């Protein structure tokens, strides 16, 4: 079963989600899957389909707030964020799986031939 990171999306799909754990972590590469502003003060938005690096993630309200290395969000105080508490809902992103070099090397190793 697919785990939905956003409590709102989960409730619409009839799923329960733990609000203490997110599938996204700092350092992850994520793809934006929702670029629609949800607040009138959201002037800076990630681009749909764009790839970003998660700088930090923290619990916020009943979900998670994501900060990206490549973008500075609009601030609830006005202008670009200077307070450090602004970000985007984690449900706007999906984690991109990037295999480690060790896994790639193991997959390129010699394959057993059929007997």
CATH code of the domain in which 42 resides? 2.30.30
Per-residue pLDDT of 84-102, as tens digits, reads 778 899 999 999 987 777 8
Q: For residue 21, what pLDDT band results from cuts at 50, 70 and 90?
A: low
Residue 56 CA to residue 40 CA, distance in Å, equals 24
Mean pLDDT of the chain: 79
Model pTM greater than 0.95?
Answer: no
User: 10 Å Cβ neighbour count for 34?
Assistant: 17
Does the residue 91 lie in any domain?
yes
Does the residue 60 lie in any domain?
yes
Does the residue 80 lie in any domain?
yes
Q: What are phi and psi of 10, to 5 degrees?
A: -60, -45
- Domain count of the fold of the chain: 1
Closest CA to 71 of 90, 91, 100, 50: 50
pLDDT at 19: 44
Show the domain range for 26.
21-100
Does the residue 110 lie in any domain?
no
Does the residue 3 lie in any domain?
no
Does the residue 45 lie in any domain?
yes
Does the residue 6 lie in any domain?
no
Does the residue 42 lie in any domain?
yes
């Amino acid at each position: 079963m697919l785990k939905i990171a956003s409590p709102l999306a989960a409730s619409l799909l009839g799923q329960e989600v733990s609000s203490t754990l997110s599938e996204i972590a700092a350092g992850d590469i994520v793809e934006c899957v929702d670029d629609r502003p949800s607040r009138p003060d959201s002037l800076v938005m990630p681009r749909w389909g764009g790839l970003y690096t998660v700088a930090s993630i923290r619990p916020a309200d009943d979900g998670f707030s994501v900060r990206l290395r490549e973008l500075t969000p609009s601030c609830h105080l006005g202008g670009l964020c200077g307070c450090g508490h602004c970000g985007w809902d984690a449900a706007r992103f999906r984690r991109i799986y990037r295999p480690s070099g060790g896994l790639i090397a193991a997959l390129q190793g010699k394959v057993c031939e059929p007997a």
